[in-house]
Amino acid sequence: GAVVSQHPSRVICKSGTSVKIECRSLDFQATTMFWYRQFPKKSLMLMATSNEGSKATYEQGVEKDKFLINHASLTLSTLTVTSAHPEDSSFYICSASLGTMNTEAFFGQGTRLTVV
């Protein structure tokens, strides 16, 4: 299957700082990328859908000014957690798709964010 690389796999940051997470499709062009978040013992929750070259579409309840998503190229999307707080500590996972609604999406390894 296609390979999606997410970096970093783990990050610890101080409260008030910003953290950037990268999601790269290594062997295909990803028109659409998705960002998910997982709380302990809870489901992976879709945060936003990003299409290359346009603004991301955020799910209800997700603060777009808090979680900045940039999808500037067909192989890279970034999620920046701004002014991080301990409650932002979570597991973040991206997936990437060729873009049409009947194509599969492939997942990155996830990023464990801890805010202290």
Q: Residue numbers of the site for other proteins (CB under 8 A)? A: 1, 4, 6, 9, 32, 34, 36, 38, 41-46, 49, 93, 95, 97, 100-110
Q: Which is nearer to other proteins, 54 or 100 (CB)?
A: 100
Handedness of CA 71, 116, 17, 61 (dihedral sign): positive
What is the closest distance, in whole angstroms, from the C-beta atom of residue 83 to other proteins in the complex? 27
Which residues partner with 16 through β-bridges?
none
Q: How is residue 104 written in tokens?
A: 């599969």
Q: Which is nearer to other proteins, 45 or 62 (CB)?
A: 45
We find the least distance from the C-beta atom of residue 17 to other proteins, in angstroms, to be 26
Helix (H) or strand (E) segment spanning residue 108: none
Question: % helix / strand / coil in the chain, to the nearest 5?
Answer: 5, 55, 45
Question: Closest distance between other proteins and the C-beta of residue 99, in Å?
Answer: 9
Q: How far is the CB of 105 from other proteins (least distance, A)?
A: 5
Q: Which is nearer to other proteins, 78 or 111 (CB)?
A: 111
The CA-atom distances, in angstroms, between 54 and each of 17, 74, 86, 96 are 26, 11, 30, 15
Whichever of 61 and 86 has its CB closer to other proteins, that residue is 61
